[in-house]
Structure 1
């Protein structure tokens, strides 16, 4: 019986250690200084900073905004689509998590060519919290 407990404790410790390492890796990616050279990298740099709150599965919000060539925001983001459910507190938490992700991700470290290509263009990323049980 003791050996089963030891194995279970070791497995739980490994899972917790892996979760902590994943959180540290995500935090490092969120504040990366590696130059962003593509639209895909730009999207990933923003999404990696986003942590949807518990209970918001299925909620979705599309924001429209523009960035300067130095990776900073031009003006305020504007919601163009939302499916926020019926709980106002969860809806506010969901929107706040997205705005925090933008705040954490920006300014993006654009390469010179990417900064020139993206500057002033309208972007409209959609943020959708994964549904329960989805991978």
Structure 2
């Protein structure tokens, strides 16, 4: 009796094992998700550059926008760059532009300035906790420029 029960239990365990392995949490795409994109909007140019290392997301975004300068003859505009940072605050990969609201003839100048400003402002000075929190996560940073007379809105 005892041997029969043991054999039946082994047979049951063997038949369940392969099926259970197919639905492992790490292999099931419905359980996995992409990292959440960190989003922010910064009005540029900034009146003053922030100092010291950033320890919060609210402190990080102005540091990433501090190097932005308006291209010549730019009216009101908005542009969004998507990128990721490493723990040390340096860029991970190449930033890319995902949105721009600007006249077509000014788009190339605005895109070039935005990408070069991110390169100039990185590596951002980050405290260790924030560096670990943002490392590898996508960041979508929207730069909003009101224009030279500050009354225009994009």
- Give the TM-score of the pair, scaled to structure 2: 0.61
What pairs with 1:9-88 in structure 2 (closer than 5 Å)? 29=49, 34-87=52-105
Question: Aligned partners of 2:87 and 2:104: how far apart in 1?
Answer: 38
Task: Choose from 107, 129, 134 the match for 1:113.
Answer: 129
Question: Which residue does 2:113 correspond to in 1?
Answer: 97
Listed as ranges, the gaps of 5+ residues in structure 1 are: 1-24
State the 1:57 CA deviation.
1.9
Q: 8 Å contact 2:53–2:125 — kept in the other structure?
A: yes
Greater fraction helix: 1
Cα offsets for 1:62-112 (capped at 9, x unmatched): 11111011101111112221223131xx32211111112111110011100
C-alpha RMSD of the superposition: 2.0
- Give the TM-score of the pair, scaled to structure 1: 0.69
Does 77-86 or 60-69 show the bigger shift? 77-86
Cα offsets for 1:15-42 (capped at 9, x unmatched): xxxxxxxxxx95xx37x5x211111211
Q: 8 Å contact 2:85–2:137 — kept in the other structure?
A: yes
Question: Aligned partners of 1:109 and 1:73: how far apart in 2?
Answer: 12
Question: Aligned partners of 1:55 and 1:128: how far apart in 2?
Answer: 15
Question: Aligned partners of 1:81 and 1:94: how far apart in 2?
Answer: 11
